[in-house]
Amino acid sequence: MKFLDLVAQYQSIRKEIDKAIKKVLDRGHFIGGKEVETFEKEVAKLSGAKYAVALNSGTDALFLSLKALGVGRGDEVITTPFTFIATAEVITALEAKPVFVDIQPDTFNIDPAKIEEKTTKKTKAILPVHLFGQIADMSEIMRIARKYKLKVVEDAAQAIGAEYKGKKAGSIGDVGCFSFYPTKNLGAYGDGGMLVTNNKKLTEEIRLLRTHGSSPKDKYLNLALGVNSRLDAIQAAILRVKLKHLKGWSKKRAQIATYYTNQLSELSKLTTPYVATNRNHIFHQYTIKVNKRVRNKLISYLKKQGVPTMIYYPLPLHLQPALKFLGYREGDLPASEKAAKTALSLPIYSELKRKEQDFVIKKIKEFYLAKYKI
Ligand SMILES: *Cc1c(COP(=O)(O)O)cnc(C)c1O
């Protein structure tokens, strides 16, 4: 069994993918163009946003969103420490300062009740992450943002298609950012990313920054200093094929999650994922919580039995060596630190067979039975 099987997914849609790639090769247009523009429109539609800009990665989507919203030197951006490094890295890349707010232990997402106490005159934006495919508490986040006149950029890298009170991930804040890294729910065969927004001016600004600030009318007239962050036409063509399957795949993940939860909830020593009300969780990860003293033993037992697991994330960002200069210490953000010691992600993807799911469940039960006789 694999933790994630991208080959199995490819086999299931091989004909469509091969055809789409061939079409791009035959056409000979490899950067931008029709495939990319159509894909932008499709993702905007799926997200319920007016505009979309295809980019080279999710990291670039976050970076260019913050940049276009005016985040720069000396500004502060409030975010969660329980995420992938890219979330905070883009803030420091703009010479702004990440200000970490602790998470809700149940959803693993930023705790809105702790945001206001961290806002200062320098706070420019809030950058919530919809971790593991579940949208953060956006009503509260937007209320605080309005009160303090802050911008909101949603890191929806793990949450494409997820819903919150009927709204789609990425469409609630000023900008929403997606990643098409191969292991994401909508993954390319290489790097890719996109942002969505309802703000036309911002869209134009980011389109400009995406290609060196080159004027759309005159390539060698540079109106701003930007970057090179374009999506390849081949990736767009692949992603357009996959997009048609996304809903079905998300449904399959949700079914597997429900099955795992039904079978595992009888084990009092572990905690199954919490799905908050008014949310449609897309289960990018299925992450349980276990006692920190048994986690390593459980991981090695499962590994020996052929069940791969992953820890997302073993070290919260405020304790990362690269961010030491921010001055955080162990104990500053206890819920995130605890999550880093107790979280464990199990295999979940739409090609995972029922037999394999049963095997995962059986081996976890065996472990607890042997250890606690329960
Ligand atoms: C994957 C991911 C990113 C970065 O996306 P890339 O496409 O790899 O640059 C950012 N934030 C989160 C939460 C992610 O999971």
Q: Are 343 and 281 contained in the same domain?
A: yes
Rounded CA gap, 208 and 55, in Å? Answer: 12
Rounded CA gap, 157 and 195, in Å? Answer: 10
Q: Are 44 and 158 contained in the same domain?
A: yes
Q: Give the pLDDT band (50/70/90) at residue 32.
A: confident
Q: Is 333 in the pocket of ligand 1 (CB under 6 A)?
A: no
CATH of residue 71's domain is 3.40.640.10
Q: Is 84 in the pocket of ligand 1 (CB under 6 A)?
A: yes
C-alpha of 293 from chain center: 28
**Domain that includes residue 280, residue range:** 246-372
| Probe residue for ligand 1, chosen from 178, 181, 189, 239 as the CB with the greatest number of ligand atoms within 8 Å | 181
Q: Are 186 and 321 contained in the same domain?
A: no
Residue in 27, 24, 54, 25 with CA at minimum distance from that of residue 39? 54
Q: With b meaning 16 or more CB within 10 Å and e meaning fewer, what string describes 262-292?
A: ebbeebeebbbbebeeebbbbbbbbbbbbee
Is residue 305 scored above 80 in pLDDT? Answer: yes
Largest CA distance in the chain: 73
Q: What does the block give as tokens for 304?
A: 């020996």
Average pLDDT, the chain: 97
Which residues fall within 8 angstroms of residue 228, CB to CB, at 6 or more apart? 56, 210, 211, 212
Q: Is 86 in the pocket of ligand 1 (CB under 6 A)?
A: yes
Rounded CA gap, 275 and 260, in Å? Answer: 14
Given 241, 256, 275, the domain boundary residue is 241
Q: What does the block give as tokens for 48?
A: 């319920």
Ligand 1 atom at minimum distance from 158 CA: 15
Residue 169 forms part of a structural domain: yes
Query: Quick one: average pLDDT of 243-266?
Result: 98
pLDDT score recorded for residue 191? 98
Q: What's the pLDDT tens digit per position in 103-161? A: 999 999 999 999 999 999 999 999 999 999 999 999 999 999 999 999 999 999 999 99
Q: Are 278 and 225 contained in the same domain?
A: no
Query: Quick one: average pLDDT of 62-80?
Result: 98
Is residue 351 scored above 70 in pLDDT? Answer: yes
pLDDT score recorded for residue 371? 79
State the burial class of residue 93 (Cβ atoms within 10 Å of its Cβ: 0-12, 13-18, 19+): middle
**Interval between CA 332 and ligand 1 midpoint (Å):** 25
Amino acid at 265: S
Residue 166 forms part of a structural domain: yes
Residue 229 forms part of a structural domain: yes
What are the respective helix, strand and coil percentages of the chain, to the nearest 5?
A: 45, 15, 40
Q: What's the pLDDT tens digit per position in 158-202? A: 999 999 999 999 999 999 999 999 999 999 999 999 999 999 999
**Interval between CA 368 and ligand 1 midpoint (Å):** 34
**Interval between CA 179 and ligand 1 midpoint (Å):** 6
Q: Are 19 and 137 contained in the same domain?
A: yes
Q: What does the block give as tokens for 333?
A: 């953000």
Ligand 1 atom at minimum distance from 83 CA: 13
Report the phi/psi class of residue 232: left, alpha or beta, with left for phi > 0 and alpha for psi in -120 to 50. beta
Residue 27 forms part of a structural domain: yes
SS3 13: coil
Q: Is 185 in the pocket of ligand 1 (CB under 6 A)?
A: no
Ligand 1 atom at minimum distance from 130 CA: 13
Q: Is 83 in the pocket of ligand 1 (CB under 6 A)?
A: yes
Q: Are 210 and 88 contained in the same domain?
A: yes
- Do residues 114 and 100 touch, judged by C-beta distance below 8 A? no
SS3 254: helix
**Interval between CA 40 and ligand 1 midpoint (Å):** 18
Residue 78 forms part of a structural domain: yes
Total domains in the chain come to 2
% residues pLDDT > 90 (the chain): 98
Given 208, 241, 274, the domain boundary residue is 241
Q: Are 47 and 176 contained in the same domain?
A: yes
% residues pLDDT > 70 (the chain): 99
| Probe residue for ligand 1, chosen from 155, 175, 189, 239 as the CB with the greatest number of ligand atoms within 8 Å | 155
Q: Are 36 and 182 contained in the same domain?
A: yes
Q: Are 151 and 270 contained in the same domain?
A: no
CATH of residue 352's domain is 3.90.1150.10
pTM for the whole thing? Answer: 0.97
Starting at the edge strand that comes first in sequence, how are the strands of the sheet with 343-346 ordered? 270-271, 286-290, 343-346
Rounded CA gap, 176 and 173, in Å? Answer: 7
Q: Give the pLDDT band (50/70/90) at residue 66.
A: very high
Residue 77 forms part of a structural domain: yes
Given 241, 266, 301, the domain boundary residue is 241
Q: Give the pLDDT band (50/70/90) at residue 334.
A: very high
Q: Are 125 and 69 contained in the same domain?
A: yes
Q: Count CA atoms within 13 Å of residue 123 on its CB side.
A: 23
Residue 1 forms part of a structural domain: no
Q: Are 235 and 252 contained in the same domain?
A: no
Q: Is 129 in the pocket of ligand 1 (CB under 6 A)?
A: yes
Q: Is 63 in the pocket of ligand 1 (CB under 6 A)?
A: no
Angle CA(9)–CA(14)–CA(16) in degrees, nearest 5?
115
pLDDT score recorded for residue 372? 78
pLDDT score recorded for residue 374? 56
Q: Are 152 and 250 contained in the same domain?
A: no
Residue that is written with structure tokens 């997606």 in the block: 178
Residue in 138, 139, 136, 102 with CA at minimum distance from that of residue 117? 102
Query: Quick one: average pLDDT of 314-339?
Result: 98
Residue 124 forms part of a structural domain: yes
